[in-house]
Amino acid sequence: MANRKLFIKSYGCQMNVYDAGRMTDVLTPLGYATTSRPDEADLVILNTCHIREKAAEKVFSDLGRLRAVKAARAEQGLDQMIVVAGCVAQAEGEALMARAPVVDVVVGSQAYHRLPELIARVHREAGRAIDTSFPADPKFDFLPQPSVQGPTAFLAVQEGCDKFCAYCVVPYTRGPEASRPVAAILDEARHLAQGGVREITVLGQNVNAYHGEGPDGRPWTLGRLLEALAAVPGIARLRYTTSHPRDMGDDLVIAHRDNPALMPFVHLPVQSGSDRVLAAMNRGHDRATYLRLIDRLRAARADLSFSSDFIVGHPGETEADLEATLSLIDAVGFVHSYAFKYSPRPGTPSAAHPGQLSPEVKSERLARVQERLGVHQRAALDLAVGTTMSVLLDRPGRHPGQLIGRGPAMQPVHLGTPGLAIGDLVEARIVAAGPLSLAGEPVEPERDASPPAWRVA
C-alpha cells in the first residue's frame, strides 16, 4: 500500500485535532501520505464531533458529497475507502452505517489505534468494518510517537468525563475520566521537544481532573504534572484545556503563581451566569463559586486572562437568566470566548426538558451574548497597544514576509519584520489592535541554535 493518499477532516474540539494527527501517525507506516484534496485520496477519514446537532449533520452533508467523489473515482478504476471516526461514530455506530452506505469503516474515539486492522479487514473481506468498543487497554499504549509539525503541539493527558452535565454527550462518546501515566506523558513531551516544539498545550475533556500515576506509584495532580513538563529541556511555554470549575484545585492555582512556563491564560467554561440554569445543567457549581475561583486565580497571578464557553437558550432559560449571563461576562471581562445556541442531543436529560426555546429566541439571545463578549475582546486588544509581550511565531501570515504568533493570552500577533522565522520566541512591542488580532514589532528575538527541519523562514 505504498504511495497512497490520505485525506482527513476533523470537526469540533482540540482533542479531535489531536486525534486526527494520531490517526495520521498510525497510518503513515502503511504508506499513506496526506493530501488536502478528497478527490485524490485513497482513504478519507471524517473525524467527527457529536456535541451539537449542527456538527453531526455536517458529517452527513460531507458524506453526500463524498459519495459523488467515490463514484467518480470508481469510474476511473480507482478505489476509495471512507472512514467515519470520532464521537458521531461512537454514538451512532451501526445506525450510521445503515444511514450512509458509502461508509466502509466506523471507528469510535477510543479504538482508532485499530485502524490498520479495520482497513485490512475491509480489503480482505470486501465488506465493511465497525469498532466502537472501549478497549480495556488504552489506545495510547498502541500509538507511535507523534510526528512534529511545528513549534506548538497538543499532548493528551486525560480523556472522558464523569460530570454528566444535562446537555452533554461526552460521557457517552468518550467514556469515563481516565488519565495517562506521568512517565508516558513526559516521554511524549521529550519527543516533541527534541523535534523542535517549544509550546505544549495539555489536553483533556476535563484536563484539571488529571490524576495519572506518577513514578512514585501515587496519583499526580495537573499542577504537579505541569511542573514536570516545565522541566523538559526545550519546552518554553505550557497551556492546558479544557478545565471544569469543579476541578480547579489549590495546586493548579499555585502553579499559576509559581510556574513561569505556564501561560497566564485560563479557559474555564461557565456555560451560564444564572444559578437556576446552572442547576438545570447539572454543572455542580454556582455563579458565586465561579466568581470566587476567578478571584483566587487573579490573586495568584494578577495578569491572568480568561476565556469561557457559553450555552445560550438552554431549556427553561428566561430573559432574567440571560441578563445574569451578560452581567457575569461584564464581571469577568473575558478576553475571548465561545458561545453557542443550545442543541438537544438524543439521550441527554436536557433534550427531554419541556421548556425548549424556539430557534428564533435562541438566535436573538446568542447575538446579544456574542456582542457583549466582543466588547470585552476588543477592549482587551486595545489595552495591549503600547505593551510588550512574548510571542511564539507559529505560522505564515497573508502577506509576504509576515508571520503570526500567539501572545500569552492566545492573542494573534502579526509581525512583518525580515529575518524572523517560525519557531522564534519574540519579545514584541504591540503597535496596533485590529478587531481580532494585534500588530507588533520585535524587540529582541530568541533564536534556536539548530533550527528543526520543519522551520520555515
Distance (Å, whole) CA 61 – CA 47: 14
Cα dihedral sign for 212, 216, 218, 222? negative
Binding residues: 13, 49, 87, 161, 165, 168
Q: Are 74 and 191 in contact (CB under 8 A)?
A: no
Q: Identify the three-state secondary structure at position 95.
A: helix
275 backbone dihedrals φ, ψ, rounded to 5°: -60, -35
Q: Are 311 and 323 in contact (CB under 8 A)?
A: no
Q: Is 14 buried (19+), middle (13-18) or exposed (0-12) by CB count in 10 A?
A: middle
Q: What is the distance of C-alpha 391 from the center of its chain? A: 21
Please give the angle made by the CA atoms of 70, 63 and 100, to the nearest 5 degrees. 95
383: Cβ contacts below 8 Å, ≥ 6 apart: none
Does 242 sit behind a cis peptide bond, omega within 30 degrees of 0 on the bond before it?
Answer: yes
Rounded to a whole number of angstroms, the CA Rg of the chain reads: 23
Q: Are 195 and 452 in contact (CB under 8 A)?
A: yes
Binding residues for [4Fe-4S] cluster: 13, 49, 87, 161, 165, 168
Exposure class string for 343-369: b at 16+ Cβ within 10 A, else e: bbbeebebbebeebbeeebbeebbeeb
